[in-house]
Amino acid sequence: MARPYTLPPLPYAEDALAPVISSQTLGFHHGKHHKTYVETLNKLVAGTEFEGQPLEAIIAATAGNASSTAIFNNAAQSWNHAFYWQCMKAKGGGKPQGAIAARIDAAFGSYDDFKKAFAEAAVTQFGSGWAWLVVENDSLKVVKTGNAEVPFTKGMTPLLTIDVWEHAYYLDYQNRRADHVNAVIDKLLNWQFAADNLANVGSVKGSQAAMAH
């Protein structure tokens, strides 16, 4: 019998991202929402061809398949959240340095132009979803996805993401999504994680963050 997927621990304490993200929000988001995706996935794949497969393989096999929507949603949200936690750190944010800074300048013109594009993608994602910094065809770009969608199913490699589902910010910001997004960009983005992902383009970085067996 395959070992079940498990909830990965946060890479920091629940209060580490305060005051941008409160310990209450992080506790609910990780300990209830993310945990439920993992537990639901275990129930859905038990006894199926997907049991025991890596999350990325399940996501790739079920993307766009109407008969596997529930499995896709829970596998993708499990992966997205495991990736998302690593996209933030205490005293993060601001302008990156090194190779990724040069790539951002090349792709967007400047860090300020990147920040504007990233924030706009996050704020204008209608309903639930995600904003992403990705690599596509060796170029950096900003994209947004709805619900559980993840860019690697479309050939893009994620570098960073911001969660704009309401449970990611509503306890702290209510309907002020833009305030949350800008605070995450300015104070929490983990540029070292993004730089590591950029250096490993060609493999879907973040699988280490996902539920290991």
Contact 157, 151 (CB under 8 A): yes
Structure confidence by residue, pLDDT tens digits, 115-163:
999 999 999 999 999 999 999 999 999 999 999 999 999 999 999 999 9
Q: What share of the chain in percent tops pLDDT 90?
A: 87
Reported as a single tens digit per residue, the pLDDT across 38-67 is 999 999 999 999 999 999 999 999 999 999
Q: Where are the alpha helices (DSSP H) in the chain?
A: 23-28, 35-45, 55-62, 69-86, 99-108, 111-124, 170-173, 177-187, 191-199
Cβ–Cβ under 8 Å, residues 20 and 162: no
Taking all residues of the chain, what is their mean pLDDT, rounded to a whole number? 92
Rounded to whole angstroms, what are the CA distances from 127 to 84, 145, 184?
Answer: 18, 10, 19
The pTM of the full predicted model, rounded to 2 decimals, is 0.92
Euclidean distance between CA atoms 175 and 129, whole angstroms: 15
- Go through the domains of the chain in sequence order and give each one's CATH number: 21-213 (3.55.40.20)
